[in-house]
Amino acid sequence: MNKKGELLSQPFIYIFMIIVIGLVVILGFTNLKNLIGFGCTVESEKLMHDFKNNVKQMYGFSSGSKQKYSFTTPSGINGICFVDSTMSPDLAKITYKDIQDYVAIKSSAGDLNENIFFSGSDEECLPEPNKIDKLKVQGNTLCFNVAKGKFDYVLENKGTFVEISKP
C-alpha cells in the first residue's frame, strides 16, 4: 500500500540516478583520456632520457670508440632529425615538412639551439625539440624514418664530441 505523495517521489529518484550515472561516465572518460596521454608523455621522456644517456656513455669511452644502438620509439612518431646547431642546417636533407619549417624559422632568426627534432601525427605525444650536449651530426643534418617504431644509429666518440650517423 502506497502512502500519499510516495508515487511523486519515484521520478525524482530515477532522475537523480541518471544524473549520477552520467557524471560517473563523463568523469571516467576524462580521466581515462588523461591517463592515456600521460603514458604517451612517459614514453617520450624515456626516449629522450635513454638517448641522452647513450651519448653521455659514449662520450665517457676512449676516442675512436664506436657502437651501434637500436631504439624503439613511441607510436605517433614518424621521424627524428638531428641538426648541427653550430652550423647552417641543410634543409634539403630534412624530409619532414614540420621539422624543416621549424628549423628554417629558428635558424633564420639565429635562435637554433636544439639539435634533435621529432615529426609525427600525434602532436600531443611528440617530445619537444631538445639539445643534447656534446652531440654532433655526421654531414650536418641527419634524419631517420621511424614510422615502423624502430631506428638504428651509430655513436662514435671523436674525442671532444660524439658523432651520430646511420649504420
Q: Tens digits of per-residue pLDDT, 6-48?
A: 556 677 788 888 999 988 888 888 877 776 666 667 777 888 8
Residue 92 lies in a domain: yes
Which SS3 state, helix, strand or coil, does residue 80 take?
A: strand
- What pLDDT is attached to residue 157? 92
Q: Tens digits of per-residue pLDDT, 118-141?
A: 888 777 777 788 888 888 888 888
Residue 103 lies in a domain: yes
Residue 83 lies in a domain: yes
What CA dihedral angle connects 114, 89, 85 and 60, to 10 degrees? Answer: 100
22 sits in the region (left: phi over 0; alpha: psi -120 to 50; else beta) called: alpha
Cell of 42: 612517459
Query: Are 79 and 144 spatial neighbours (Cβ–Cβ below 8 Å)?
Result: yes
Residue 161 lies in a domain: yes
Residue 15 lies in a domain: no
Q: How far apart are CA 130 and CA 152, in angstroms?
A: 19
Global confidence as pTM: 0.73
Residue 9 lies in a domain: no
110 sits in the region (left: phi over 0; alpha: psi -120 to 50; else beta) called: left
Number of domains in the chain: 1
Give the structural domain span for 48.
35-165
- What pLDDT is attached to residue 133? 87
Phi, psi of 107 (to 5 degrees): -70, -35
Residue 14 lies in a domain: no
Residue 74 lies in a domain: yes
Q: Tens digits of per-residue pLDDT, 37-65?
A: 666 677 778 888 888 899 999 988 888 88
